[in-house]
Structure 1
């Protein structure tokens, strides 16, 4: 009997092991997801213009880490479905790399469709099933690297709809969006409707004189018997359709931003009879999210996130609706916020390439170009733009204007037509000019947003940015194996940093002057050095304290660097006060006055010609994940992440941050004054570090959930 029991135990154990092995095997058969070509999620809707595109995918969470991959590329769906790769079979490649894997077969053909899929091996040497098949289509291979994704049209019905006492109809679509209008309307006799669209209300009706460049349009539309469906025809705006503006696709009608609708002359309309046709670039509404214990901060986040989607209609980062022109500084702020709410990178990459041919005039705008390249590199891990544009990018740093102290100055006699040609200006009689912030005092009757900045030939703001440019070029040169140039850039960075701190910092008063030859210390002369790493550790508190005394003495553009600076100074409570403020120089003021997209200025009185659809005003969309939560890529492409939260007096917060490797999901709760609990879930194939002032050492983060409990006291 005992022997039989032993056999039974062995049999049961064997069955259990078989079941467990089957469960494990089944668990690890989950395939990769999130496939992209050239960092584009649905490449079948666009043209891939790189003959050797890069493939990326998301490693399944239960694989934890990838140790190998195999990519198949075929010329037909039938072949790829049968695991046959007539175009390229990578073979089983031992690598943890799940992003930017370059096509390794013979060159692809132009204007041809292909199909690909991938499988991976996990850290326990278990191979997954193949991913779903993704189609991509090539276009004409040209000198550009980036290719566009695609546009979507959303049919939006009114949030509210009613008939007015004068028999006209009113609709509120809930949010401002770039688009046009469809109407379902029948009539027994010919008639003419009067249609009004607008972004702003006044006394319960559309404001017909909204001021600035806030949009309003009125038009007539004929209705005839037997026809029930109409699409209005808007008149093109003279300013945003000039030759210098970004042209919209030929398939687009004339579009304008509007939220509200009024119709006069219709007999009987219902809410379902009117549709806002809103045009957006590809955008995943569910990619990024945020919530916290602060209701105002939550509303500010929603405003700033939607601003990324709403202003994407042009396929480039443009200056809102007034000119529809890309500007380097606007684009950089747009890029930071867009990357923070959606893992969509093609708009930024297209815009970066645009700037190499079409620069704009402000000095600091040129110095933003290297910043654009750097963020694209860090968020995607892709090096193609750097490799292609490294030489012209060096000119964008304005290093040709450097003097013996390491400073650059646009008052230098070195600024000539040759330098302007190097920057990409077709008209080499132009000259770049220092801007600091915008608008400057006197423009459009505005008081200006530069905190009384005293412009001197040697400018602190410009040179703080130049220092950061030299740091970036050092890294790029090292990446490309240009060791001598890397050493030169590093030397230049050290030199200008030393000069700024020796010649522009007032140790007695604890602030940086605007430039050599003035004692005036604007908020700009202090927030830019802090934001760009110029300020030594021993000066940070004093500079941070000084910044607090200046208040919000900058524009919505400058607010990006104000926020970065106060977080760099460790002033997280002050940073939170800035983001949840309700005065007229706040993001909440934009909500309060009725805008659903961030405005070009804090309020119309600060820039009377401003608009209500400007993404450069959306800094909290990136400041919250990058600084409040402190989540930034430690290595290019988020192979490793660094998380250094500064929550201020929030008692709870949750965040979902999209990356090319998958979502980072973070949660924070303050249990009591002596217990802070963080839950950080990293996607597979990503590791990281958690840094806190309440911990003596950084905490290692692994793929999957990481629970961290801190005790401040």
Structure 2
């Protein structure tokens, strides 16, 4: 090919422009908000400037920064950062001229691109601010400034306060229409959603009435199920019609139970919602021109994480769980389903991990934790989960401010006041004094005047004498293994949080206490004859739960793991959808990926496949209707596979807060080829995995400012390891080949048997 000399300058300019553009940061966030300039009206996106919306007197909704000293973050192209400069101004024109009247950080030598605190004068209320950032690469070369981001502050900012949030309404059309009989038309939207109905009707008379049925389930003959089981939803609505063509959006009547004390209420700008998939309309003297619904949810990036494997059922379960996280975000908090709409700590913990796995959104977890601190629920283990949620928040977002604010409360929620001399805790030894209950903000909840151990839910005979329950026969004692396994995990998390805050005295204290509890746990709860974990002190029974919680939290000595695994295999899925999270955690943490995948993709009654088989398009509260008769069909605590697929099958977990260092330890098992895109606070990780007994191949892309530590699974140390086509030395640890300190960019790793 011949290139003329006249063309070369143009080519050089184009390539230079592309290179410069690639050095500009992108995906800016102010106080973790991804798009604070987007404006909504009653949940519908509007293409108007934020500056105009701020002056509208409350007509429009938008996310607001409520901190006087917000936190900034950004994403880099495939490079390391050695310094940054942030400009904050009161108008766009000033920033366009690279000037700033509010704050100019100057060149700050730092590789930090997450959790960067604003250090200018306190931001004022109800004001628009403009900011941008540029960075220097690892060679000291400056890049271009990022595109300007604008955000607004709230009416009552504080030094630190969580940002506000918006709910959105997405219009949707039915995917199918059918006629179950001559008098009715059924519209199927394909998936269940917390929604509002909208109809366009042409009526012949002014006194006609349209009857419609909204529901989550249908009968075998194709009608909306008007008598669904448990808390599966159904609603009949009668609409008085006006003569001629009109659009109707009937209000959803609030439910008596899910709008009472402790429930999260829907904001007035959105209105009430009902979960439904199907709409059935009774024919009459009118013409239905259009049927649609508005799905209500929090903002959710459907493209943030994508996953595809060679295992069809695993892909279906991923889709089920990912959609669950989006659909159940309708209130802006992690709630337990439509029956109650109450935040519970256990629901929040699983929801948080699966939310992080499906979208790089961090404010909902913070908002829910902040709420739960003052609105605790009754199970002992749930209180301890507050600390785990706080640690996950910091680990994934890189933002420690909420944990700092809540630190005194988190110390109380750890329940150390209930400990005896060897460190083990109990709720049944008279230590739940009024002062203790006040310290954890506890008031009577569901007739429970104090905390009470739960293990799993529901218990036997809950909702009927034939209900077997989900506790695997757990025998409760004064000192229980599951509670103390959680206590150990909480102590470890508190030690790490205290260290991050610079509180070395507390960090050392919690580290010592964790070691003491570990010793006491193994002495009291591990049976010397069976080498299994018993349910409680003085109890001979060993449940599945006592063993998988101990395994998940690292309390089983290495030499006893095989026996515990054998016992776990013998029990199957003898736990609830909540317990399944920690069962899978335990299995993957000891590299039992094949059995974990077997449970994930099972078609038994106790499986995620069974939820779909029974008609749900979100994860259920239980494995099926027979296991919890009052269950609902939209419960995110059943969505554990979403985070297990990312954290274990793809093997992606942050090592340092904010993904500065990431572990890539895939456990694909027999899934076939895997393709994955996973968005983090630092940018998107991409994986392509091909795994056979003879070869494992990983194509990996790491975003800028992220260092990877790679662990390639292989069954033998008699193998060759290569990186980007060159044979390298790698340490074999008995299950993986370790390749550490991998720089950003695209890399190909292979391990294969030697000939």
Structure 1-normalised TM-score? 0.95
Give the structure 1 partner of residue 701 of structure 2: 681
Q: Which residue of 1 aligns with 2:542?
A: 521
Matched, 1:699 2:739: yes
Query: Per-residue displacement from partner, 1:462-487 (whole Å, max 9, x unpaired)?
Result: 00110111111111222222222222
Q: Is the 8 A contact 1:169 1:269 kept in 2?
A: no
Q: Which residue of 1 aligns with 2:462?
A: 443
1:404 Cα offset (Å): 1.2
Mapped contact 2:69–2:160 kept (Cα < 8 A): no
Identify the residue that residue 136 of structure 1 maps to in structure 2: 151
Q: Matches of 1:498 and 1:337 in 2, distance apart?
A: 32
- The CA RMSD measured in Å over matched residues stands at 2.0
Q: By how many angstroms is 1:326 displaced?
A: 0.3
Structure 1 segment 286-297 matched on structure 2, within 5 A:
286-297=303-314
Give the match for residue 565 of structure 1. Answer: 586
Matched with 2:749 is: 708
Matched, 1:493 2:493: no
Check the 8 A contact 2:262/2:375 in 1, yes or no. Answer: no
Distance of 1:258 and 1:137 partners within structure 2: 35
Q: Which moved more, 1:563-572 or 1:594-603?
A: 563-572
Counterpart for residue 261 of structure 2: 243
Are the counterparts in 1 of residues 648 and 666 from structure 2 also a CA contact under 8 Å?
yes
Structure 1 window deviating more from structure 2 (159-168 vs 538-547): it is 159-168
Task: Give deviations 1:117-159, integer Å, cap 9, x for gaps.
Answer: 1111222333222211111111112486322332111100000
- Contact 2:444 2:450 (8 Å CA) reproduced: no
Question: What is the distance in 2 between the residues matched to 1:386 and 1:164?
Answer: 55
**Number of aligned pairs?**
697
CA distance 1:698–1:16, shift in 2 (3 Å)? farther
What's 1:42 paired with? 35
Per-residue CA distance 1:28-62 (angstroms, 9 max, x = gap): 3432111111111012321211110001111123x
Q: 2:192 is matched with which residue: 170, 176, 181?
A: 176
Deviates more, 1:562-571 or 1:480-489: 480-489
1:366 aligns with 2:387: no
Instruction: For residues 639-667 of structure 1, give each alpha carbon's deviation from its aligned partner in whole angstroms, at most 9, with x where no partner exists.
Output: 00011111112221122211001111111
Shift of the alpha carbon at 1:598? 0.4
Distance between the aligned counterparts of 1:247 and 1:523, measured in 2? 37
Q: Which structure 1 segments of 5+ residues have no match?
A: 1-11
For 2:9 and 2:192, the matched residues in 1 are separated by 60
- CA distance in 2: counterparts of 1:267 and 1:586, whole angstroms: 46
C-alpha separation between the residues in 2 aligned to 1:427 and 1:586?
Answer: 34
- Say which SS state the counterpart of residue 66 (structure 2) adopts: coil
1:110 to 117, 121, 125: 125
Post-superposition shift, 1:278?
0.8
In the TM superposition, what are the counterparts of 1:297-308 in structure 2 within 5 Å? 297-308=314-325
C-alpha distance in structure 2 between counterparts of 1:602 and 1:560, whole Å: 13
Measure, in 2, the Cα distance between the counterparts of 1:493 and 1:412: 21
Classify the secondary structure of the residue corresponding to 1:305.
Answer: helix
Indicate the residue corresponding to 1:541 in structure 2. Answer: 562
Tell me, in whole angstroms, the C-alpha distance in 2 between the residues paired with 1:560 and 1:159. Answer: 33
**Cross-structure match for 2:102:** 87
Within the alignment, does 1:74 sit opposite 2:104 as a pair? no
Q: Residue 66 of structure 2 contacts residue 164 of structure 2 at CA under 8 Å; is this kept in 1?
A: no
Q: 2:667 aligns with which of 646, 664, 670?
A: 646
Q: 1:153 aligns with which of 157, 169, 173?
A: 169
Distance 1:162 1:482 in 2: 64
- Structure 2: stretches of 5+ with no match in the other structure: 38-61, 715-730
Aligned partner of residue 562 in structure 1, secondary structure: helix
Return 369-378 or 508-517, whichever deviates more: 508-517
CA distance in 2, matches of 1:579, 1:572: 10
Deviates more, 1:610-619 or 1:482-491: 482-491
Cα displacement (A) at 1:427: 5.4
Tell me the residue number matched to 2:40: none
Instruction: Say if 2:450 is the partner of 1:431.
Output: yes
Aligned to 2:491: 470
Q: CA–CA distance in 2 between the matches of 1:282 and 1:526? A: 38
* Aligned-partner Cα distance in 1 for 2:753–2:267: 55
TM-score in terms of structure 2 length: 0.89
Please list the CA deviations of residues 408-432 of structure 1 after superposition, one character each: whole Å capped at 9, or x if unmatched. 0011222211111111124599210
What is the distance in 1 between the residues matched to 2:269 and 2:498? 42
Residue 281 of structure 1 is matched in structure 2 by 298
SS at match of 1:594: coil
CA contact (8 A) 1:145 1:384 kept: no
* Cα distance change, pair 48–511 in 1 and its aligned pair in 2 (3 A): same
